Structure 1
Amino acid sequence: MENEQAPGSLARALADVAAEREAQDRMWGVQEFPDGTGPAFTARSEEAKLECAAAWSRGELTWRHILTEEFYEALAESDPRSLRNELIQTAAVALKWVQSLDRRHGGTVHQTRDGHRSEKLVRDRIPEIIREAGGTPETRTATHEEQAALLRNKLYEEAGEYIATNDPAELADLLEVLHALAALHDLTPEQMEEHRATKAAERGAFSKRLVLRLPH
């Protein structure tokens, strides 16, 4: 049985990755961004494959070559399933590299970035409410460029709170975020409702509890 604390153990490397992910979630919450991948990276992916093969044939293969190949293969994908597979492969190679480092140099204690200040988007009156309760809130005004990303993160946060509590009152928070996102696209609540009604007329709603069985 693998010693979880031994240098080079997979369990230890996975534990460090899990700790880092938890620290990132504490700092930033759920984050959602566009993938930014696709055919534009195909040429770089092919170049990385050739570099990896050439290094192998010369007996000069390094972890850098292998991880670079996996990384650019992921960047060249646009299909979600293929992208996910490539990202898993990239993460697996990165973990193997960590294990190799631990075997050669001994395992070190991973330092998470818990010291960084976390922040999140809040409703306009939250600082006022905190001050009324005797607190001293520290705030900043988000730039227009980061507003969409912050609202997407807030969407996940509010959806998660509803899922965790099953409290219908949380749906009002979710709706507020949806309205704010719609405003970024110059859509009024009335126009949102028009879009919803149009889709309901074309495709139906969810009132019949229909569940589609997907092919294998």
Structure 2
Amino acid sequence: MAAVATVGAMENKRPAGGLTRVLADIAAERASQDDLWGVQEFPDGSGPAYADRAEAAKAECAAASSRGELTWRHILAEEFFEALAESDPGRLRAELVQTAAVAVKWVQSLDRRAGEVDVPAEKLVRDGIPQIIRKGGRNPDVRVAGNDEYTSLLRAKLEEEVGEYTGSGDPSELADILEVLHALAALHGLTAADLEHLREEKAHAHGGFRQRIVLRLPPPDAP
């Protein structure tokens, strides 16, 4: 098995932490709002009139990222204005959920900086990360994962990468997810080609997701 390094908080993407606490804080705030104002209904006020502002926020976010100056403000603004540009209720809801998810991640980041949540002491990283850290003038504290823990570390890495994608919507995160999937497949003796063959078999038997079919599920108490 190829050497796998683990390193504590050395990679650019830190693992998400404290989600339960943040969601509890949000639930408490929502309860407080309901106690104060009751159930509220207003027009959405969103729509195509905000499309230009959404594009501007997206461009600003991309420019900041290319300069290495990306901030949570850029990311949240992009998601927020993308939501404002939607008038279809379903798409508006999806964009608002993404906006809320980014806001939650920002709060988690604030909590980590304040030392209010525990950041794992180590995590699985790509093989080249230690060398990148050394080139930056730091000396990473690394070890090689044992056979008995490698699978669980990969599964944790998969959750981390999926969380990064669902939180940001950045398509480049899909490449990270794919890299972890290939490593997991290798544990089962499967090559990337084998995995693709399995995908093709399932697609042939059951189809893919190109037609965007949504199955309405019966209520849990339905006979």
TM-score by length of 2: 0.46
Question: Using CA pairs below 8 Å that are at least 6 residues apart, which structure has the higher relative contact order?
Answer: 2
Bigger CA radius of gyration: 1
